[in-house]
Amino acid sequence: MDSYFIVGGKELEGEVEVDSAKNALLPIIAGCILVDGEIKLENVPKYSDVLAMCKIIEHLGGKTKFINGSYINQDLYLDCRNIVYSDVPNELACCVRSSIFTLGSILGRKKLAKVSYPGGCDIGLRPIDIHLAGIRQLGCKVVDKNGYIYADASKLKANDVMLSFPSVGATENIMMLAVFAEGETRIFNPAKEPEIVDLQNFLNSCGAMISGAGGNIIAIKGVKKLHGCEYKTISDRIEAGTFMIAGAMCGKQIVIKNADAQHNQELISKLLKTTCKLTCYDDKIIVEKADKLVSFGEVETAVYPGFPTDLQAPMSSLAAVSEGYSLIIENLFESRYKHIGELMKMGCDIRCKNGVCIIKGKDKIYGAEVVAPDLRGGAALVLAGLVAEGYTTINNIGLIDRGYYKIEDKLTRLGADIKRIECEKRMDNCN
């Protein structure tokens, strides 16, 4: 995989535009499998996870193509009218967690599915028991064998589905499966993330009848068919949050465009404690760092609208350079602290035990050669590299590419000194 080479210590200034939300796009692409018509998704960045989902659609017999737009954001056309296959093999599922979303949509469309266990970032066990329990409650037979889920929806029927935990992925899978279930399905204790509301809005634009997303009960009235549509997803609250944290750490003034402050309320309340200056408008957020950063206090991850687990790692980089002690508690994924060891190589003062991190802020951290352990942990290392004294090399950045499209270009335009070193060139230098 490629690496980043960062010369730390530059202040960031200027405008940056947030892309369409990765975590909204991936289930929506899976949702296209249900649709008997052409879909145009506007402004889709070529995140590697998006490309992986397109490969799955093509394997099933659908068509995908990117056209128009800027070199970063293009429109993605998907045509699943001629879907013929109903299996997702391991070699396509293993590189992307969201491959599991195709279980609900393939099953809804084809009534039979064979889908491999998903891959994705190694941040914990990430079971799919809640997905499978929900699918069974809709009358489907499910067998979990040899790394594959075999499911039969010939007796698909609307029902009340009670989730034991408001899992984002399980809620999305069940919403998609229920679209063609005769009668009314109600999902109790669903996830409430903005990406769930976006999936509802997308499916409704194709003729589905879903209501209640974002609230305590989602109701889905079964329909016979979905038609094509044009759709633009919400902006990426995690990318926006990453730039907000960057602004708090080293922003002379960053204007973050296409950012929805409503989706980042918890982050905003924490950032204000650091004494950075933050101003929110309808579709942009402006952040300026404080003369002296102070600790945000405590962050405990929780389901939406709580503090997002995806921003926990970037917050640890902020804490590492904020005066005082900060506490981070990760409640959702048991192995989401792998970046901490890498931050310690950069001189950060962190103690981590039983899912709790105590971080003592330092005036200075320094560059080092580190490895991105996962997507958001990798983003945390980029942020640390921006403020570190000297040079930072981050290896394994293919994991960062999964959810930030060419973040080095955006940071360079803001004044950062960051370069991508392609894997082949690095090998040449070794010889």
Contact residues for ligand UD1, defined by CB under 6 A:
23, 26, 97-98, 124-131, 165, 167-170, 191, 195, 309-310, 332-333
- Asked if residue 332 lies in contact with residue 399, where contact means CB atoms within 8 angstroms, the answer is no
**Please, which residues have CB within 8 angstroms of residue 18's CB and are 6 or more apart in sequence?**
235, 236, 239, 240, 243, 256, 257, 258, 259
The helices-and-strands tally (H runs, E runs) of the chain is 15, 24
CB of residue 95 to ligand UD1, shortest distance in Å: 13
For residue 132, the minimal CB distance to ligand UD1 (Å) is 7
Q: How far apart are CA 156 and CA 183, in angstroms?
A: 10
Pairing of strands 3-7, 284-288: unpaired
The rounded distance, in Å, linking the Cα atoms of 375 and 352 is 20
Assigned token pair, 335: 């192995």
Q: Cβ 376 to ligand UD1, closest distance in Å?
A: 8
Whole-number Å distance between alpha carbons of 245 and 240: 9
Judged by CB, which is closer to ligand UD1: 84, or 125?
125
- By beta-carbon proximity to ligand UD1, the closer residue of 100 and 388 is 100
Using DSSP's 3-state secondary structure scheme, residue 293 falls into coil
Can you tell me whether residue 262 is helix, strand or coil?
helix
Decide whether 14 or 124 has the Cβ nearer to ligand UD1.
124
Least separation in angstroms between residue 263's CB and ligand UD1 is 12
Whose Cβ is closer to ligand UD1: residue 126's or residue 289's? Answer: 126
Residue closer to ligand UD1, measured from CB, 145 or 224: 145
Q: Which residues contact 167 (CB under 8 A, 6 or more apart)?
A: 130, 131, 191
**Shortest reach from residue 111's CB to ligand UD1, in Å:** 22
Quick check: is 121 catalytic? yes
CB of 306 to ligand UD1, least distance (A): 9
Q: Between 52 and 293, name the residue whose CB sits nearer to ligand UD1.
A: 52
How far is Cα 415 from Cα 425, in angstroms, rounded to an integer? Answer: 24
d(CA 185, CA 9): 54
Q: Which tokens belong to 34?
A: 């249900």
Tokens coding 412: 């360079």
What residues contact residue 129 under an 8 Å CB cut-off, 6+ apart? none
Q: Which of 32, 54, 80, 121 is catalytic?
A: 121
Q: What angle do CA 388, 390, 391 make, to 5 degrees?
A: 95
Q: Which residue's CB comes closest to ligand UD1?
A: 169
- The residues that are catalytic are 121
